[in-house]
Chains A and B, each alone.
Chain A
Amino acid sequence: MIAGIDFLRPGLLALLPLALLPWLARGRDAIPYAHVAWLPPDPLGRAAGRLLRALGALLIASLVIALASPGRPESVEVRTGRGAEIQLLIDRSRSMDERMLPSDWRTLSPHEIRHQTRSRGPIKSQSARELLSSFVAQRPDDRFAVSFFSASTLHVVPFTQHDEVVQAGIAAGGIHRGLSETDVGRALISSIARFDKRPYSGSRIILLVSDGGARLDEDTRLAIRAGLERHRIALYWIYLKGFNRPDLDMPGEASEAIPEVALHRFFASLPTPYHAYQAESSEDLAAAVEDVGRQQNYPLDFEERIPRQDYGRAFIAAGLVLAGLLLALGRLRLGALA
């Protein structure tokens, strides 16, 4: 690190020769004496005098260096982050209390599917919670935060590595029935805000589990885009597709009117990583969760900018200590004869 020192005002280093002053100012404070050759030689006194002068020189030098503001220049360091920060954002709307397609839906006749789904398909929110809790349990290195949202966002658990808290937070989503609305925009903005002022120590993910989309106005879109970009958050959307619900990849201009498709297209347009998983049955959901887990399992190398560190304070402190020392030693000095 010694090599990497720069000065904000290197020109002031030209003042460094001032440090020779204590040696040049010979006898300014000295007592005039008739005939110095007379005095007995005193190695101790000579050493003390040299020490005082060296201290004075050091003091001047350290002040000059402090004025020149030495410091370690701004540098970029590659760091390896272990463990992702995953914000689970789970839809708590009423539609999540509906059931998904039963696992053997492919064998059912089209007439039966609707009926069968109503009666024996797994409940969306419940299977999502189960899968997410096992997902959390498999990833002890990651930090999780849990939020539910419908009309507004309920932040249940802040970022933590404590597994039980996260599990309890996920389980809390199962209490009572869901609410009526689904405001994905507000939920995303407030989830992004939870990354504020956190050091970037690993990949960041918002895992949005929802069965419906929403139409976002331009301001919300801008806020989401800016927030994701600023915090470098990857967005994963597990879309729990209900029976007869629209497909995300539906082509055509007209499908822009469908909220889910519009949301998907907006997410896809983001500069940050985005992946959508459509899950129609709980098997699809399990596959999606597994896929997310696989994708975010790697240690993350990222560049961190380390700001310039100023060492000037250290030199000023050293100067202060030296000045105090000199003052203390100066009290031992004799100023005059008799």
Chain B
Amino acid sequence: MSATQDFHYRLPGRSGGWRPGAHAGRAMGSGEDFLAHASLFARPDPRRIDLRASLRDPRGDWLVRLARQRTSVPVAALVDTSASMGFGAPRRKLDLAADFVAALARAASAVGDPLELLAFDERLRDELGAPSSRQAGLGERLAAGLRAAVCEAPGHGALRETAERLAGREALVFLVSDFHGYGADLEAALDALTRARVVPVVVWSGQETEPPAGEGLAQFADLERGGLAELWLRPRLKRRWREAVAARRVELDRTLAARGLRPFFMGDPFDGDTLTRYFLEGA
């Protein structure tokens, strides 16, 4: 994939976990992040003896330096594959999501984090997902699976069930979806993910945020619920269309901000630099 899709993520604060990695961690271990001095008797590691501190010590103890170890954080992507994600031409929103998953896999392997993929619609789609792994080339394989996937489920009923798989895990969780029709189930899913750092990745196609170019009568059929809307497209209605999109964006922002989350609105095509900036802003 093109270099512009590559991004880097960093996490604010310190993460738990014992496994060494690239993120600031809470665990003590070998690292440069100084925490405190301790007596050699308490921490019998002569390699860490700090001579200057020991000489300064009034009690004359041998002191060793204690440091926090940089830690690895598991990364998980929750990808909505319901019918509305099949919308968009020539590239479906799920194709955009696949691009993102590929880039995420590269970003995770760059810092040595394991990646887990969970795809869901009305049920958990295990055939598209993958358990947590550092396997090389995993991202391309998952992305290819997503690109070939069929989106026909009329909803995202398994959202909560999927989120509960990660419940209690201190992970970096990307919730990749268009967030259409998300309500109480989103709240429940976020409840399950309280310990994780959740990055809502909002995938909207330009074709749904922008009204069609022509004017005239247009009928729209809902991909998921089978509803039907008839619009007489005209400049005034197109303005209202854009207003409705903006209102939805604000509403989503507000819903997530209540939990301290900031959604990332993915463009078409997916731009890695924007996501990198998102993490820099958040960190």
Question: Which A positions have Cβ atoms within 8 angstroms of B?
Answer: 26-27, 29-40, 42, 44-46, 48-49, 52, 329, 332-334, 336-338
Contacts and interface: CB of A to CB of B under 8 A. Distances in A.
B232 to A, nearest CB: 4
B222 interface: yes
B213 to A, nearest CB: 6
Interface of B: 84-85, 87-89, 93, 178, 180-181, 205, 207-208, 212-233, 237, 240-241, 243-245, 248
Nearest to B237: A42
A40 B240 CA distance: 6
B157 to A, nearest CB: 16
A227 to B, nearest CB: 67
A27 B223 contact: no
A334 B217 contact: yes
Contact of A35 (B178, B214, B226, B232): B178
Contacts of B228: 26-27, 30, 36
B89 A337 contact: yes
A276 B231 CA distance: 86
A33 B215 CA distance: 17
B250 to A, nearest CB: 13
A30 B216 contact: no
Nearest to B222: A36
Contacts, number: 118
B230 A38 contact: no
Nearest to A50: B230
Contacts of A338: 89, 207, 212-213
B177 to A, nearest CB: 11
Nearest to B178: A34
13 contacts: A32-B221, A33-B229, A34-B178, A36-B225, A36-B229, A40-B240, A42-B232, A44-B232, A45-B232, A49-B217, A52-B217, A333-B218, A334-B233
Contacts of A42: 229-232, 237
B237 A34 contact: no
A37 B181 contact: yes
Contacts of A27: 219, 221, 226, 228
Contacts of B243: 40
Given A39-B241, A45-B237, A334-B218, A32 B87 contact: yes
B180 A334 contact: no
A38 B208 contact: yes
A48 B219 CA distance: 10
Given A39-B241, A49-B230, A334-B233, A33 B181 contact: no
Nearest to B238: A40
Contacts of A52: 217
A45 B244 contact: no
Contact of B207 (A29, A44, A45, A337): A337
Contact of A31 (B215, B220, B237): B220
A31 B218 contact: yes
Contact of A38 (B93, B217, B244): B244
A46 B237 CA distance: 13
Contacts of B178: 34-35
Contacts of A39: 220, 229, 231, 241, 244
B205 A36 contact: no
A35 B217 contact: no
A333 B231 CA distance: 10
B72 to A, nearest CB: 36
A34 B223 contact: yes
Given A337-B89, A338-B212, A36 B219 contact: no
A34 B155 CA distance: 11
B237 A40 contact: yes
Contacts of A337: 89, 207, 212
B93 A34 contact: yes
B229 to A, nearest CB: 5
B220 A36 contact: yes
B180 A31 contact: no
A333 B221 contact: no
Contacts of A33: 87, 208, 220-223, 229
A333 B237 CA distance: 15
B248 to A, nearest CB: 6
A26 B221 CA distance: 8
A45 B230 contact: yes
A336 to B, nearest CB: 8
B246 to A, nearest CB: 11
A42 B211 CA distance: 14
Contacts of A32: 87, 220-221, 223
A34 B230 contact: no
A35 B222 contact: yes
A336 B207 CA distance: 10
B209 to A, nearest CB: 9
Contacts of B222: 33-37
